[in-house]
């Protein structure tokens, strides 16, 4: 499946436009675009922000979440990439 629609416009991107950008990037990287969407970006932002100490309230303002419970579902355990043997030895 190829995503070739290439137009730009002023203003915000719709959720569908973000999904297409992500799918194009996944496909360009040789990945199956059916497994990727814009949702991954939202969870990635929440996880990265929490990992460096950004408050849940600040994350919620950025992501548009209205409850702590929901934003916590988006914050993934990011220790996989920080607390492992390869990271300690600089790989």
Which pLDDT belongs to residue 40? 77
Rounded Cα–Cα distance for residues 26 and 33 (Å): 5
Domain chopping of the chain, boundaries: 1-37, 42-91
Instruction: Decide: pTM greater than 0.75.
Output: no
Closest by Cα among 2, 69, 60, 67 to 34: 2
Mean pLDDT of 12-31: 89
Q: Please write the tens of the pLDDT for every residue from 45-87.
A: 998 999 889 999 999 999 999 999 999 988 877 665 566 677 6
Q: Which H or E run contains 66? A: none
Asked if the model's pLDDT at residue 5 lies above 70, the reply is no
- Residue with the bigger pLDDT between 91 and 4: it is 91
């Amino acid at each position: 499946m190829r995503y070739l629609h290439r137009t730009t416009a002023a203003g915000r991107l719709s959720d569908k436009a973000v999904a297409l950008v992500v799918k194009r990037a996944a496909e360009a990287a040789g990945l199956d675009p059916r497994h990727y969407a814009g949702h991954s970006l939202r969870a990635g932002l929440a996880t990265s922000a929490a990992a460096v100490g950004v408050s849940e309230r600040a994350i919620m303002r950025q992501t548009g979440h209205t409850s702590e419970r929901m934003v916590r579902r988006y914050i993934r355990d990011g220790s996989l990439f920080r607390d492992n043997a390869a990271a300690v030895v600089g790989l």
